[in-house]
Structure 1
């Protein structure tokens, strides 16, 4: 094996697959390398976790032509309610106020993958190399190269979309900054006693942020942050004990919690790559920024990377310029840097501020949340940002084809 491509994407998860679909059909020679067999049941990212898609992400998927394969399994979020356990402050966001059909949607990663992978496999200008594990990666003046067990691949542009533990990012020496939260997220699908009404609940508890997001089949997706030392004990509870523990922290807004599905946990940290480009290489998605799930922005931020990168690459290609030239990639980075940095810092601020139980701090944040409820313009600005509709939007984020 010794193939040459214009664009070579490492990672067949949600960001990598979306980028390949976005770049297809424009005369580029595309390759995608994935360590696992490229099947929904085989790629680790395509599991039963509930993924919160912003309204902007729905626009991107619509423009890519894959939303029709997903929307039947995607539950709309029409209302978001934010509160703190034991506090008096609360605020809400509502789709009607924003004049959109939904603020976002919740879909399992498995159903999202089931919408992406058939589209990926139908692309005539894409070589899928899977299962294949990258052994090394190098960048030279005129090309990027990766090594596989079976041989070598070359490309004008190498895109690392291989997750938070990205080997390509490490091999190419991208600087990374990391914060450890010493927390883990426990995820499960829960059936409440009352209809969820397409509402998402963000509850800041003494044990950490807890989100219950509306899903199909009258279920809710639970994302509950707990201290690392408590994970084993919480996961060892039987189903009724687990539901009772959730109930004590969440309250009775959805009635008595009835059933819980398979539980899983994963450690939480924040990873950020300040400079995501170098000559002939770029990192996107979780390889560029891995976030705490408190605001549900991780995948949406990565999908906006995809939309902007595809537009910059194709603009350069149409003007007969080298899409992997550092000048082109710098334009992409300058476009994305403010959004990436803003979401990284805002997410960390939320985690830190709601982890502080010092009484004056708790009082101040409750007053702040209550003040937000009384200021519709401020709520509107937050809603636009959460929906991925602020700043300079790529064509895909406006629902327009490339």
Structure 2
């Protein structure tokens, strides 16, 4: 059961030499949602979910945000927020989670994009006023809902406070050697263990990591004016500033700054921090009045050439870690786990982890990966710079989208994230 203690789980594994259908390394959002998606489609699958951290959320306890250092790797069920696009809402609705999540979610009905110091600006609005671009939700509200859902499945085993030390791949299975001395055999090992993925490294899945030389300051803020369900993306020479509407008339702030200035800006007293933010962002949403706890995340682009190896696959941030501009990272990872679960469900039990199954998965995901990563990286490079030669064309582009809404349709479609996820693409 999902609420087993560490001792009970260890006893189960050592006593039974179980061959698991799927071992998921990383019990954060991506790993836990994958486990739920798998078991929703086949409750008899033998799934092991393991993590090097202590269990973050217990379904029988209230959620307490984990206190963290200012600069750290992303925890999963803390006070951070995520923007869920319409496609992700569809996926969560299919998992019977959305109705519970929506109670604490704030709709995004419009996105305003502007470029500091220039005339270009555009307002993006869905075709139907009844359909939001997406929603913003605090992860601490999602954790307990997800834990409760997982607790219903007796074929799920959880193991916490253990690290993955090694992977041994054989023809029909993969053996995961753990820091507590256990060896776990499975048909498939899934790396959902974040951008510093041990699974990716041990399986020799090649990746590139490019530093943007920027950091994001993350916190919640409130303003003097109501947000009216509007999200803002303001491009500056140091990077974008995103304001995502939250419940109780708050915003989730993503404030990108030069990497060597992040600590000094984040460490300012609240009044000075808000003044600095006001000077950079402007007055589109009124006066900034309150700022919450601030955290810093260095910004990088991590991508894998092909996130699969023999009986191993990486999803979410283990396969791609994106700049937060346009809020594409988590949504891309959610599409990963949704497609992986679907491909596994449609495979014969003995085909789980096979080359044919993993190749099918990558055929379904390759185009989405390439398109989303290219779009995100291009936005960062085109807008977050001081080169005059790019300023005029990009602002003419923004102004043209404002005057001729059909020009913004590709951006709107990407923002909504409602794609045909199972259309096979030619990889030749």
TM-score, normalised via structure 1 length: 0.94
For residues 224-282 of structure 1, what are the alpha-carbon distances to aligned partners after superposition, in whole Å with 9 as ceiling and x for unaligned?
11111101210221000000111111111221111010000010101001111122110
Q: Distance in 2 between matches of 1:394 and 1:214?
A: 32
The one of 20, 24, 35 aligned to 1:9: 24
Task: Output aligned runs, 1:370-381, within 5 Å.
Answer: 370-381=399-410
Match of 1:301 in 2: 332
Match of 1:204 in 2: 235
SS in 2 for 1:135: strand
1:364 aligns with 2:364: no
Match of 1:82 in 2: 113
SS in 1 for 2:257: strand
The one of 50, 67, 71 aligned to 1:33: 50
Q: Distance in 2 between matches of 1:100 and 1:136?
A: 50
Q: Distance in 2 between matches of 1:370 and 1:117?
A: 46
1:60–1:307 Cα contact (<8 Å) kept: yes
> Cα RMSD between the aligned structures?
1.6
For residues 291-336 of structure 1, what are the alpha-carbon distances to aligned partners after superposition, in whole Å with 9 as ceiling and x for unaligned?
000110000000000111111111113xx55121101110110110
Q: Distance in 2 between matches of 1:38 and 1:196?
A: 35
Q: Distance in 2 between matches of 1:3 and 1:152?
A: 10
Stretches of structure 2 that go unaligned for 5 or more consecutive residues are 1-13, 58-63, 67-73, 424-428
1:307–1:394 Cα contact (<8 Å) kept: no
1:21–1:120 Cα contact (<8 Å) kept: yes
2:38–2:45 Cα contact (<8 Å) kept: yes
For residues 14-40 of structure 1, what are the alpha-carbon distances to aligned partners after superposition, in whole Å with 9 as ceiling and x for unaligned?
111111001104121111111122223
2:237–2:385 Cα contact (<8 Å) kept: no
Change (3 A) 1:273 1:98: farther
1:98–1:380 Cα contact (<8 Å) kept: no
Q: How far off its partner does 1:99 sit? A: 5.5
Q: Distance in 2 between matches of 1:258 and 1:339?
A: 39
Match of 2:223 in 1: 192
SS in 2 for 1:123: coil
1:139 aligns with 2:169: yes
SS in 2 for 1:197: coil
Match of 2:61 in 1: none
1:9–1:31 Cα contact (<8 Å) kept: yes
1:267 aligns with 2:282: no
Q: Distance in 2 between matches of 1:332 and 1:232?
A: 41
For residues 102-153 of structure 1, what are the alpha-carbon distances to aligned partners after superposition, in whole Å with 9 as ceiling and x for unaligned?
1011111222222212212222221111232222222211111111214111
For residues 202-223 of structure 1, what are the alpha-carbon distances to aligned partners after superposition, in whole Å with 9 as ceiling and x for unaligned?
0001332100110011110000
Task: Output aligned runs, 1:2-401, within 5 Å.
Answer: 2-25=17-40, 26=42, 27-40=44-57, 41=64, 44-95=75-126, 97-98=127-128, 100-148=130-178, 149-317=180-348, 321-390=350-419, 392-393=420-421
Q: Distance in 2 between matches of 1:50 and 1:17?
A: 17
1:10–1:16 Cα contact (<8 Å) kept: yes
Q: Distance in 1 between matches of 2:422 and 2:160?
A: 30
Q: Which runs of 4+ in 1 moved over 6 A?
A: none
Q: How far off its partner does 1:373 sit? A: 2.0
1:8–1:158 Cα contact (<8 Å) kept: yes
Q: How far off its partner does 1:68 sit? A: 2.1
